[in-house]
Amino acid sequence: MTQVSFEHRTVLLHEAVEALAIRPDGLYVDCTFGRGGHSRLILERLGPQGRLVAFDKDPEAVAVAETLALADPRFSIVHAGFETLAEALSGRGIRQVDGILMDLGISSPQIDDGRRGFSFRFDAPLDMRMDTSRGQTAAEWLASAEEADIAEVIKTYGEERFARKIAAAIVAQRCIKPVETTRELAVLVGQNVRTREPGQDPATRTFQAIRIFINRELEELKNVLPAAARCLAEGGRLAVISFHSLEDRLVKHFLRDASTTDTLPAWVMVRASDLAQPPLSLVGKAVRASTEEVSANPRARSAIMRVAERTAAPWPEAQS
């Protein structure tokens, strides 16, 4: 595979690594290697006995990570989505880790490489797969999916008001020629979105929705959060950076539920110390990118990081 260099600015770089409270001899996981910004800073904080395991679906990201692994024996890369976290760690003889970082969503190199089909700024094959070595492309799915299914994906994952109109247009277009490129899809969507947010291309929500669906992003996130929490040693930190409301809602609700105890009626005379301790404890408030970072990297504008710490309480089976 031909390697093309694209600039990547890691969002909340120092804030995320600080949130993990790195121990020099600790064992950490970077669930989304990308181009290795967070991983490299974690390795700087680790001592000779520390270890870092990273995950990524993208073969191009994995190629970068493999170069790092050759240079630093403390680091290893897993070519897989983070949904495989527990299984992959177990396969390496790892039961517990001291910190897990998730930097969700799409990376700058994926957006800026027109060949990948993620962006309507380029005219390219409509691929959208984070892992180009497997799975169905966006074009293949749009060519065969039922109209109702296309509408549901665009409405649910893109929160697009004109989802049914867009889906109908895609299916009607198939009778002439299937939608196969990013520009074809963007033009088709633009013709069927009657109003748009100021400064936002009318295709933005549809492209986001199809990308999330093709890569099972929300499904994987929902599955990995409890698995990640169970993998943490007592005192270990989980830090999650989200970039849109659907991701953040999942993270926020999961952390809230795992860090609170059942509420009892006011008349029940029970001491706080007698209540079951929750398995997670929230660490600080949600963190957003600074004004300076957003100015230097506008893509950081929507980023929000939430952090929790593992307590001594066992993980309840009901939350598995």
Domain end (from 160, 194, 214) = 214
266 versus 139: the higher-pLDDT residue is 139
d(CA 297, CA 29): 25
- Kindly state whether residue 296 falls inside one of the protein's structural domains: yes
Q: Which residues are annotated as a binding site?
A: 36-38, 56, 82, 103, 110
pLDDT given for residue 117 in this prediction: 78
Instruction: Report DSSP letters for 18-66, one per residue.
Output: HHTT--TT-EEEES--TTSHHHHHHHHH--TT-EEEEEES-HHHHHHHH
Using DSSP bridges, classify how beta strands 75-79 and 97-103 pair: parallel, antiparallel or unpaired: unpaired
d(CA 122, CA 319): 43
Q: What mean pLDDT comes out for the span 153-164? A: 95
Q: Which residues are annotated as a binding site for S-adenosyl-L-methionine?
A: 36-38, 56, 82, 103, 110
pLDDT given for residue 2 in this prediction: 42
Q: Are residues 290 and 224 in the same domain?
A: yes
pLDDT given for residue 31 in this prediction: 95
Q: How does pLDDT run across 55-103, given as a tens digit for each residue?
A: 999 999 999 999 999 999 999 999 999 999 999 999 999 999 999 999 9
Q: Are 179 and 139 in contact (CB under 8 A)?
A: yes
Domain with 265, as residue range(s), is: 13-109+217-319
pLDDT given for residue 63 in this prediction: 94
What is the average pLDDT score of the chain?
Answer: 89
Of 253, 178, 250, the residue nearest 217 (C-alpha): 250
Domain end (from 187, 214, 241) = 214
Q: What mean pLDDT comes out for the span 5-12? A: 67
Q: What mean pLDDT comes out for the span 24-50? A: 95
d(CA 15, CA 253): 22
Q: Indicate whether this model's pTM tops 0.85.
A: yes
pLDDT given for residue 188 in this prediction: 95
3-state secondary structure of 172: helix
Q: Scan for tokens 């089909």, then name that residue.
A: 117
d(CA 300, CA 11): 6
pLDDT given for residue 265 in this prediction: 57
Measured CA distances, 120 to 214, 237, 299, 307 (Å) = 16, 37, 16, 33
Residue percentage of the chain with pLDDT more than 90: 71
- Kindly state whether residue 117 falls inside one of the protein's structural domains: no
Of 38, 89, 31, 88, the residue nearest 56 (C-alpha): 31
Q: Are residues 251 and 166 in the same domain?
A: no
Domain of 205, CATH number, reads 1.10.150.170
Q: Are residues 104 and 230 in the same domain?
A: yes
Q: Into how many domains does the chain fold? A: 2
**Residue 263, pLDDT above cutoff 70:** no
